[in-house]
Amino acid sequence: MSLMWKATPRQWLLAAVFLVAAGPAAATGQEANESVAPSSGLGGDWALNRALSDDPDDQLRRVRGAAPPPRRMGGGRPSDSSSLDAVRRAIEGFGINQTDSTVTIAYPDRELVLFTDGRKQKIQISDDREAEYRAWWDAGQLFIERKLDGGVTATEQYSLQGGTGRLHVLTRLEGDPLPRTISFMRVYDPSEPDSER
């Protein structure tokens, strides 16, 4: 007696439909972490929750207290002061709009449009200054890296907290002018837009 199972044409058809349906889902899940924005998204308007956020000035005071004064570049301001200015820019709030290939962050005074495939972009940040940016998605989180004055790199990690609906932005500052890496968390609540973006 043969123990070999013989499938009917209908059973073969059902098996084929199952394999076709399951295959692309697994593939797209793997690819989503590489460059495509997650479907949950970070889009919307966000307002700083000061009670839950770290104060970057506290972190810098601690670092400066334990180290010699930062080097000056060309006799100008201390080289890390522009880094702190850059991370303060979005502290009160901003809007985020995302597509499959870009993210736009609307600050009160300007908009920043970045490709999210990790490419380097030169962005004009004032009349006489530009900065190098990179942005990418990893495990559903958005990362934005900026090269700042004096050899400092600022990396912001944006993640949506499912339980609270809040946006967490972890900022890291590192580079030769700083004696060690500075990290601090800012927490944002969803807010109503002031006007149409």
pLDDT in tens, 10-62: 554 444 434 334 444 333 333 334 455 555 589 999 999 999 999 887 777 77
Q: Residues near 48 by Cβ (< 8 Å), separated by ≥ 6?
A: 91, 92, 93, 186, 187, 188
Strands 129-138 and 111-115: unpaired
Average pLDDT, the chain: 75
Q: Give yes or no for a contact between 48 and 169, defined as CB atoms under 8 angstroms apart.
A: no
Residue 66 pLDDT: 55
> What residue type is 34 in one-letter code?
E
pLDDT beyond 60 at 71 = no
- Other CB atoms within a 10 A radius of the CB of residue 146 amount to 21
Confidence at residue 39, expressed as pLDDT on a 0 to 100 scale: 53
Segment 138-152 mean pLDDT: 90
Share of the chain above pLDDT 90, in %: 41
Q: Residue 133 above 80 pLDDT? A: yes
Per-residue confidence (pLDDT) for residue 135, from 0 to 100: 97
pTM (two decimals): 0.70
Looking at residue 77, its pLDDT comes to 41
Range with top average pLDDT, 10-19, 160-169, 174-183? 160-169
Asked if 46 and 94 touch (Cβ cutoff 8 Å), the reply is yes
